[in-house]
């Protein structure tokens, strides 16, 4: 092979490498952007989950206090006991 042929072949390979580098850089940037969006989506879903869990706990507490569910009679009894204790304490303080 002559030196000119080697240079032409080398230039061709360099151009091919530059093209591949540009393509992979573009693909990498697109993947990074997609990853960022997915992370934001995950964080949003985590916040939504925490809000829903808080609402669920509030609902459970409200149901247990209202006595709608017969299985939560123990909670209602505890509240009644606490109210009676408070009434007794207030009665003692008023003497």
The residue that leads in pLDDT, 4 or 42, is 42
pLDDT, averaged across the chain:
87
Domain that holds residue 10: 3-94
The span from the CA of 94 to the CA of 67, in Å, is 32
pLDDT at 69 > cutoff 70: no
Closest among 20, 23, 16 to 8, alpha carbons compared: 16
How many independent structural domains does the chain possess? 1
Show the tokens assigned to 29. 């940037």
Whether 58 and 64 have beta carbons less than 8 Å apart is answered as no
Write the DSSP symbol of residue 67.
Answer: T
Phi and psi based region of residue 2 (left: phi greater than 0; alpha: psi -120 to 50; beta: remaining): beta
Q: Which span out of 9-13, 66-70, 72-76 was modeled with the highest average pLDDT?
A: 9-13
């Amino acid at each position: 092979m002559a030196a000119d042929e080697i240079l032409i072949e080398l230039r061709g390979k360099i151009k091919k490498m530059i093209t591949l580098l540009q393509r992979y850089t573009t693909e990498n940037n697109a993947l990074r952007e997609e990853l960022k969006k997915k992370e934001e989506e995950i964080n949003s879903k985590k916040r939504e989950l925490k809000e829903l869990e808080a609402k669920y706990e509030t609902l459970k507490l409200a149901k247990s206090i209202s006595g709608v569910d017969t299985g939560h009679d123990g909670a209602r009894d505890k509240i009644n006991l606490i109210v009676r204790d408070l009434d007794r304490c207030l009665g003692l303080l008023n003497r």
